[in-house]
Amino acid sequence: MDTQFMIEFGFLIVALLITRVLYLVHKVTTGFSKYTNHPRKNPCKTVICIGSGGHTTEMIALIQNLDFNKYSPRYYVMASNDETSEIKIKNLENEKSDKLDYSVIKIPRSRIVGQSYISSIFSTVYSIIYCIPIVFKIRPDLNLCNGPGTCIPICIITFLFNCAFLASTKIVFIESICRTESFSLSGKILIYFADNFLVQWPSLKKKLKRAEYIGKLV
């Protein structure tokens, strides 16, 4: 009797979780989740996913216009071997604020340039598992990302935490400026998870009704 009860209870929990996931995906894809009902009074705890090269340049162009007093503390998440981006972030922080209320977090790359898609499945799973305690510890209010593979594990864990009521995080995705006619692989994934989906070309706005055209960042 006890065993049967536990099995039935387990099925009920799984059914509730699946329902919750489908509900949030529906809310995201229909555009209802991009609005907030409660104005923020406290600083916004922000995770900023940093890619390399052009991704870093675009993200810096975006965040350098933010009021760092309102977006604090800031957690910059980047690939473990990305030293160049770390230097750029430190320079930006030194210029923008004297509080230095930020942290740099290094995580394993989910996919290296040129890596096969088959092997990238395993490296992505490893990166996702690696990110679980990071997201659990931070539980950010906002997650900013613009397309590098590094953002996928963080966004997936953040979304799952939202589903499990462990966090209440807004995921904001900005598609790269180099994407003029089609979405990046990260964009195609985050269509289902990102509360706000921002694009830099009108042609992409036409392809996704809920996308928000913001013009060119760089």
Which pLDDT tens digits describe the chain residue by residue (218 residues)? 578 878 888 888 889 989 999 999 999 999 888 877 677 788 999 999 998 778 898 999 889 889 999 999 999 999 888 889 999 999 999 988 777 899 999 998 876 666 666 777 788 888 999 999 999 999 999 999 998 778 899 999 999 999 999 999 999 999 999 899 999 989 999 999 999 999 999 999 999 989 999 888 77
How many domains, in total, are found in the chain?
1
pTM confidence score: 0.89
List the domain range (segments joined by +) for residue 199.
2-213
Residue indicated by tokens 């529906």: 26
Q: How far apart are the C-alpha atoms of 102 and 205, rounded to whole Å?
A: 33
Residue 148 belongs to domain with CATH number: 3.40.50.2000
Residue at 218 is within a domain: no
User: Do the domain assignments include residue 112?
Assistant: yes
